[in-house]
Amino acid sequence: MTIIDVTQGDITKVRADVIVNAANSSLLGGGGVDGAIHRAGGPEILAECRVLRASTLPDGLDVGAAVATTAGNLPAQWVIHTVGPRYSRHEDRSAQLRSCYQRSLLLARSLGASSIAFPLISSGAYGWPVDDAVAQQVGAIKAADVSVDIVTLVAFSRQIAQLTRRLVE
């Protein structure tokens, strides 16, 4: 049975086998969670991302897909990079958002991980309404066909942590 834990804080400081990066499609760093993970993880993460871009992902990572690299200096073994969709009032992209969580869990399991830490994907610069982003996150994790022993949902603010805890219960 999977334990879903909710914590407030900095995902780059969470101890887990896998830390999930809300990456941009280039895989070469950026702002928000992506930039924080690249800065805290060090140059090893960027080096592996460049290899991926030069080989299997020349056009970058697709929305909803997931790929793993080393975690560098982070308190984890791996970083799973996943690209969340931009929010649209005119097109339902929630399946793509749920895919980020479900494919990350599948990849984590294939790596042999027993714990994974997720940020709230697509809620920052990608404009997803926080209430719905949390609902999509919790729903996707609970409905996933495969999981790991411990899933930690890392909320950046107290308000998001409280909302996430309510939905997890």
Question: Given pLDDT bands bounded at 50, 70 and 90, which one contains residue 88?
Answer: very high
Whether 5 sits among the annotated catalytic residues: the reply is no
pLDDT of residue 2 exceeding 80? yes
pLDDT tops 90 at residue 146: no
Tokens of 75: 């308190």
pLDDT greater than 80 at residue 87: yes
Non-local (6+) Cβ contacts of 18 within 8 A are 68, 71, 76, 77, 78, 79, 80, 104, 108, 111, 113, 115, 116, 117, 148
**Interval 114-127: pLDDT, tens:** 999 999 999 987 89
- 3-168 is classed in which CATH architecture? 3-Layer(aba) Sandwich (3.40)
| The two three-digit tokens of residue 101, written as one number | 């969580």
Q: What is the mean pLDDT of residues 15-32?
A: 95
Which member of 17, 34, 62, 131 is catalytic? 34
